[in-house]
Structure 1
């Protein structure tokens, strides 16, 4: 906590400096001044939390200094000192509201000074909490586009600005409607450590911050030296320090997206839309990233659809590669398609369409082999955060599916008949005896086939298929839990919930509200 000492007697200054081992108690004497005018200038430059001020000084006395600093609304707390028991001065000083205490110089000792410092610190912290809340409310009004010139004036901030959006990393899901569920995830802990990092920077100062939702936060910074060129590198270093601190104090990882606005406070709504767009395109950046939204190939913000030149899906080339079991041709077709989604600009809607097309194509092949459909984007074993991971996942799976020696072809016709029955009747109350009667295969032999060819029991396979179907319903529909359980073959919603949690590690409603994106 930074302190400025102000006294026209240098002996008095040296005495106060020697009374305490300041750093041991969390205090720093940032500067000293011998008159109020010099102290006022230092206050604007250093922005201390506490000032210890003599009452009687030349040029500008203590009362004038306190009045001038209080008008700046910097939140500084004052400890007033005098060589005399001047109660009239004390009464005037305390009336400003920013004075924490009044001390007589010759009575100041270590314990008394430490007591008054701690009282001033507590008062400053309480006031700072209120000021932060007020700034947050003002910022919300400004960045959401409200025409409030008085609010802009009260914020006491001027360009150039830097806006930072802090977002919790979530695995990509190919269900666009689920993308808005990030506010149901674990809330971001914005601690005093991050505030301290911001306040201690020489080039950028924190104007205010507020929560967009439970996993996103906005922080606005103003460059201190207005005459200097835009200090991009300095802000990048600040962002890296905040990023490291946040990821250290939170269980999940976070990414930062920032943008500069050098002209006008009223243009901040546009800046907010830009960093929000960058965060929506997180799959193009990956996890635990720090990126400047100004440098990203984002789609235009005017609502116009972004259509890359190479948008046409190369389905014919891919199908030929699959029919010919040509790994290189399959890989080239998939790589060209994903490349077209990133160049010349990022195409998120095109990514959803690509995943939908590839998933449908893959499931056609699986169905032709009598196997259950799959959704690579909902796999529990390997969550994806980057578009390259999605591309590689589809490439590996389709290559495997088309390979002449792939594991799917090793499933016997007898077991395929059993799987067909399960896929058609999983929503009913079936058991292995039902499958046995339908296929003409004994129940004991079916048990052996499941264990030998799929390395799981009949019940394991049936449960897995039912839960996968339940996941599809939960992520895409708003059906009641009793309906969901009935549609996947469970008479009791309670039993369904127990099986779902045992299989996935979470309850159905947790999965529906974004748990699959943990």
Structure 2
């Protein structure tokens, strides 16, 4: 059934509309009524009707204003307007705003109403298809853009050519010359907490749109909102920074004024020094972060320039954190979860002893998140946290205490994962050992000793978890390597046998043929 809503301040008109046709028979259902535009807008947001039949003239909020506000919300709602003979100018306005049809109150007939409803349905279908396609594509592109820029700022993506390719695919037209980073921080964002998440998202999208429009009027730029709730703009200046400062000041004042007027929010703007290649984007963002530490000294409407800071601090991620990230990533890659837990405990202790700068905390979080996404399945991440999109979770981390809490949750979840997946974990450890030592004399007993289990239990686990025996797995691993080595025609068969853990070349040939169906010599000829 198509959902229809009636909005008219005259009860008799609403009653007349309801009794004019058999709504169910035509496939329509009246889901709500309102006597004025203000009440109507609230119900439209709540009920999401496909069609609204609305009077042009009403108290509190007229039909024209209502149509405009609903269209601004991008809801897939079509309007049929009710009018009197003397409302023609208002009808024209309504039609320009996208109303499908109009009905004269004093000449309401069944056929006209049904035709108007059917026209609205057709238009709704067309608009819904276009709207969903555009929204989906734009949302997906913006999400990829945001995630990509986050990884660049965190230093995860640090290859110049890769960044160029990504920017081209994402239609980011930032040039590698005179790049300035502006970070715009909303001071009183707590005001938004009283709104629903949907309204907050709408606020943020609207603010980004305004910033994009204003910055775009001044410079070639790209704009996005980071997970700290800050708006980041990278722009290409035309001259050196000193020459451009007056222009940047005009841009900044316009930003402050528009955000204040439209959203009643105050903001602080930070400006980096100039950069000349994409690899310096991260450095530019860090400089803006340092500037924001001095925002309490800033006069309303002024930008804080990095070059004007009273002192420069070490902006590079500490060597300790760099080392931690490398070791943590390797521990997850090789499923050494116990080592990962130990590393997390150490980094938590380190943060408790030494205050972590905002930028180091930012980099640490994103590099851990990247490592988790790269090395663990999404279902596992989903079990660890409320959302398996780790890049959204950072919204809740505003200080060192929050970061420590997040790391502690991660540590506890990894410990539980070890207990739950202990058998799989043992098999992974065994397979890792075999992968690194298959060219040595190796046995079930020796491998079991390496991972601290009995040979009998390891034999059982291999068959149970892998579907093949320990010996079969080891032979498959060795023969897989042998096939690679056979491509090197300079190696003798006995040399390949030795390099893959077989002391007896005849036994090697027998195993090779059993697994591949060919002797080593036959296999080499086929290549």
Q: TM-score, normalised by structure 2?
A: 0.37
Q: Higher RCO, 1 or 2 (CA under 8 Å, sep at least 6)?
A: 1
Structure (1/2) with the larger helix percentage = 2
Q: TM-score, normalised by structure 1?
A: 0.38
